Chain A
Amino acid sequence: MTDKKTSVSRRSFLKGSLAAGAALSTPAFWIQGAYAGGHGFRNDPTNKATVTLGFNVPQTGPYADEGADELRAFKLAVKHLNGEGDGGMMQTMKPMNLKGNGILGKKVEFVTGDTQTKSDAARASAKRMIEKDGVIMFSGGSSSGVAVAVQALAQEMGTVFMAGLTHSNDTTGKDRRRYGFRHFFNAHMSGAALAPVLQAEYGDERQVYHLTADYNWGWSQESSIQEATAKQAKWNTVNAVRTPLGAGDFSQYITPVLNSGADTLVLNHYGKDMVNSLTQAVQFGLLDKQVNGKDFTVVVPLFSRLMAQGAGESIKGILGSTAWNWSLQDAGSQAFVKSFGQEYGFPPSQAAHTCYCQTLLYADAVERAGTFDPVQVIKALEDHEFSGMGNGDSIYRGADHQVFKNVLVVRGNQNPSSQFDLLEVVDIVDRDKVTYSPDLYAGELGPYKV
Chain B
Amino acid sequence: MAKSTVTPRSDLTLFLGFTLVVLAMPIWLQPFGAAYPDLMQKFAIFGLFAIGFNILFGQTGYLSFGHAAFIGVGSYATVWVFKLMTMNVIPAIIFGTLVAGIFSLVIGFICLRRTGIYFSILTLALAQMSYNLAYSVLTPITQGETGLQLSTKDMRLLDGAVADGAGIPPTNFFGIEMGAWDGLFGFYFCAFFLIVGFYISIRITRSSFGSMLRGIKTNQTRMMYTGLNTRPYKLAAFVISGMYAGLAGCLMAAVDPLAGAERMQWTASGEVVLMTILGGIGTLVGPVIGAAVIKYAENIFSAIDKSVLVDLFSFLPDTLGTFIASVVSLFVGKGWHLTLGLLFMLVVIFLPGGIMEGVDRIKRRFFVKSRADSAE
Task: List A residues at the B interface (Cβ < 8 Å).
Answer: 1-3, 5-8, 13, 16-17, 20-21, 24-25, 27-29, 31-36, 59-60, 111-114, 118-121, 123-125, 127-128, 131-132, 144-145, 148-149, 152-153, 155-156, 170, 175, 214-216, 242, 244-245, 444, 446-447, 450
Contacts and interface: CB of A to CB of B under 8 A. Distances in A.
Interface string B281-306: 00000000000000000110011010
16 contacts: A6-B8, A8-B8, A16-B12, A17-B15, A24-B19, A27-B24, A119-B147, A119-B258, A120-B260, A128-B299, A145-B146, A152-B149, A156-B179, A245-B145, A444-B153, A447-B166
B357 interface: no
A286 B229 CA distance: 61
B136 A242 contact: yes
B206 interface: yes
B66 interface: no
B140 interface: no
Interface in B87-104: none
Contacts of A111: 303
A242 B170 CA distance: 34
B1 interface: no
B333 A7 contact: no
A123 B258 contact: yes
B8 A35 contact: no
Contacts of A60: 334
Question: Which 6 interchain pairs have the tightest Cβ spacing?
Answer: A215-B145, A24-B23, A127-B38, A131-B36, A132-B36, A1-B207
A17 B38 contact: no
Interface in B240-264: 256, 258, 260, 262-263
Interface SS of chain B: helix
Contact of A35 (B37, B144, B145, B260): B37
A125 B165 CA distance: 29
B207 A28 contact: no
Interface in B147-175: 147, 149-153, 165-168, 170
B113 interface: no
Interface stretch (B49-57, B180-188, B339-347, B359-367): B180-188
Given A214-B136, A214-B144, 9 more contacts: A2-B207, A2-B208, A31-B26, A36-B182, A124-B299, A125-B303, A149-B149, A156-B170, A244-B135
B27 interface: yes
B182 A20 contact: no
B203 interface: yes
Nearest to A148: B146
B167 A215 contact: no
B136 A59 contact: no
Nearest to A58: B334
B36 A27 contact: no
B8 A7 contact: yes
Contacts of B145: 119, 145, 214-216, 245
Contact of B20 (A20, A120, A123): A20
B182 A21 contact: no
Given A120-B263, A131-B183, A149-B147, A3 B8 contact: yes
B27 A27 contact: yes
B16 interface: yes
A21 B146 contact: no
A16 B12 CA distance: 10
B204 interface: yes
A155 B37 contact: no
A405 B298 CA distance: 39
A215 B16 contact: no
Nearest to B24: A24
B184 A32 contact: yes
A13 B258 CA distance: 36
A230 B320 CA distance: 63
Contacts of A170: 146
B295 to A, nearest CB: 9
A1 B39 contact: no
A400 to B, nearest CB: 15
Contacts of B8: 3, 5-8
B146 A118 contact: no
Contacts of A215: 144-146
B209 interface: yes
B301 to A, nearest CB: 10
A244 B256 CA distance: 26
A150 to B, nearest CB: 10
A419 to B, nearest CB: 25
Contact of A28 (B42, B181, B206): B181
Contact of A17 (B19, B36, B203): B19
Given A8-B8, A111-B303, A123-B256, A128 B188 contact: no
Given A5-B7, A24-B20, A119-B146, A128 B152 contact: no
A140 B135 CA distance: 23
Contacts of A242: 136
Given A3-B203, A127-B38, A17 B16 contact: yes
Contacts of A113: 302-303
B227 interface: no
A1 B147 contact: no
Contacts of B263: 120
A136 B211 CA distance: 54
Contacts of B203: 1, 3
Nearest to B9: A7
Contacts of A24: 19-20, 23-24
A60 to B, nearest CB: 5
B36 A28 contact: no
B334 A114 contact: yes
A16 B262 contact: no
A153 B151 CA distance: 12
A34 B182 contact: yes
A34 B167 CA distance: 25
B33 A114 contact: no
Given A3-B206, A215-B145, A216-B146, A21 B19 contact: yes
B334 A124 contact: no
A118 B260 contact: yes
Contacts of B16: 16-17, 20
